[in-house]
Amino acid sequence: MTDSSTWSHRLFSLLLEHDVELFAYVPDAGNARLIDLAQQHARTRAILLTTEEEGVAFCAGVDLVGKRAALLLQSSGVGNCLNFLTLVKSARFPLLMVVSMRGEYGETNPWQYAMGQAVLPLLDTMGILAFVVHNEQELVPSAQAALAAAFKGGQGAALILSQRFLGAKTL
C-alpha cells in the first residue's frame, strides 16, 4: 500500500503539468485525496457528477472548448460508462480516466469482485488503453503514458490504480 498523500500529490502535479484543470468525479475513497487537491487548488476545479457516464460526456465537452479534464471513478463505475465510451472512438476525442480498483488483491466485499474482474476486458473491448499501477515506481511512468495517449494521441486512456497500490479496503 502506498501513502495516499504522497502519490496523490505526485499525480496531481503531473496532471497540472499537462494542463488538466477540470476533474469530474463521483465520490470515491481511492481518489479522495486527488479530489481534495483539485478542490483546493486555485487553477483547478472539481466537478461532482451524479453518475460516472456523465463524466465521459463532460470530458468530451471540455475537449470541444480546448481544455483538458480527467474523469475520476471507482472500478464499479466503469460499467456505468460503457455506452458512453463508444463516443470516444466515434467522436474522436481524448479521454483520461483515473480508476481506483476494487474486486482484486485483498478485497473483502464479495459484491466488488464481478466488476473488478471485468474492468480490464471491458476497457479493452471499448478501445480504451489501460495503464495499470501496481506499485509506487509504476505511478509516474504509467501516468505519463496515459496522459500522452489521451492528450497527444487523442485516445481513450485509463490510469488503473490497483488495490495492491492503493491498499485493500476492509468494507
Residue 149: pLDDT over 80: yes
Going by pLDDT thresholds of 50, 70 and 90, the confidence category of residue 171 is low
Q: State pLDDT tens for residues 13-43.
A: 999 999 999 999 999 999 999 999 999 999 9
Domain boundaries, the chain: 4-166
Percentage of the chain lying above the pLDDT 90 cut: 85
The pTM for the full model equals 0.95
Which residue shows C-alpha cell 488503453? 129
DSSP letter at 19 equals T
Question: Which are the contacts of 152, defined by CB distance < 8 A and separation ≥ 6?
Answer: none
C-alpha torsion sign, points 126, 152, 10, 164 = positive
Alpha helices of 41-93 — where are they, by DSSP H?
A: 52-64, 75-91
Going by pLDDT thresholds of 50, 70 and 90, the confidence category of residue 168 is confident
Assess if CATH 3.40.50.970 describes domain 4-166: yes
Q: State pLDDT tens for residues 87-135.
A: 998 998 999 999 999 989 888 888 999 999 999 999 999 999 999 999 9
Backbone angles phi, psi at 157, to 5 degrees: -135, 140
28: left (phi over 0), alpha (psi -120 to 50) or beta: beta
Structure confidence at residue 66 (pLDDT): 97
CB 147 within 8 A of CB 96: yes
